Structure 1
């Protein structure tokens, strides 16, 4: 799992596997956020599967899929709400982590 810590509140990553969920929880994250639409690539785990594994591991979850600039701008406020309500560090993922980082950057303005 390739990760990038943006600050003390959020770390971003490329696409995770279901098997990564427990490791994410064990590392102290409290919220697992997906910023990738379902069905973007063959073999990509569906959000429903990831969410079920995350909730079973005791993580809160958020699904804020982004696939365009306009969608990123529209997700700014929901992203801010999720970040503000998180009980601890957030782990966010998409295909490469870039969309997560864009949302984080937008949320700072």
Structure 2
């Protein structure tokens, strides 16, 4: 799993598999955030499946899907709220991690 730490509060990554959730929890993350809409690619795990796995291991979850510039702008405040509510480090993913990084940049500008 390729990751990029943006700061002490958030790390972003490429699309994860349901099987990655336990390892994410084991690394000390407390929130799992998805910034990718369901159905972009065949075989992409559904958010509900990832969310169920995350909640089963005690992770909080946030689903803030972004597929356009307008979506990113609209998700700025929900992203900020999710980050402020986090009680530890956040692990966010999308297809390549770029949308997660865009949201983080918008939230910090």
What band does the TM-score fall into relative to the shorter chain? over 0.9
The separation in 2 between residues aligned to 1:105 and 1:42, in whole angstroms, is: 29
Runs of 4+ in 1 over 3 A off after TM superposition: none
The separation in 1 between residues aligned to 2:14 and 2:29, in whole angstroms, is: 16
Could you tell me which residue of structure 2 aligns to residue 68 of structure 1?
68
Tell me the CA shift for residue 79 of structure 1: 0.0
Could you tell me which residue of structure 2 aligns to residue 80 of structure 1?
80
The separation in 1 between residues aligned to 2:13 and 2:34, in whole angstroms, is: 10
User: In the TM superposition, what whole-angstrom CA distance separates every residue of 1:19-75 from its partner, at most 9, and x where no partner exists?
Assistant: 100000000000000000000000000000000000001000000000000000000
Tell me the CA shift for residue 4 of structure 1: 0.2
Structure 2 segments unaligned to the other structure (5+ residues): none
Number of equivalences: 109
TM-score (norm 1): 1.00
Could you tell me which residue of structure 2 aligns to residue 10 of structure 1?
10
Could you tell me which residue of structure 2 aligns to residue 50 of structure 1?
50
1:42 match: secondary structure: coil
TM-score (norm 2): 1.00
Could you tell me which residue of structure 2 aligns to residue 24 of structure 1?
24
Structure 1 segments unaligned to the other structure (5+ residues): none
Tell me the CA shift for residue 81 of structure 1: 0.1
CA RMSD of aligned residues (A): 0.3
1:95 match: secondary structure: coil
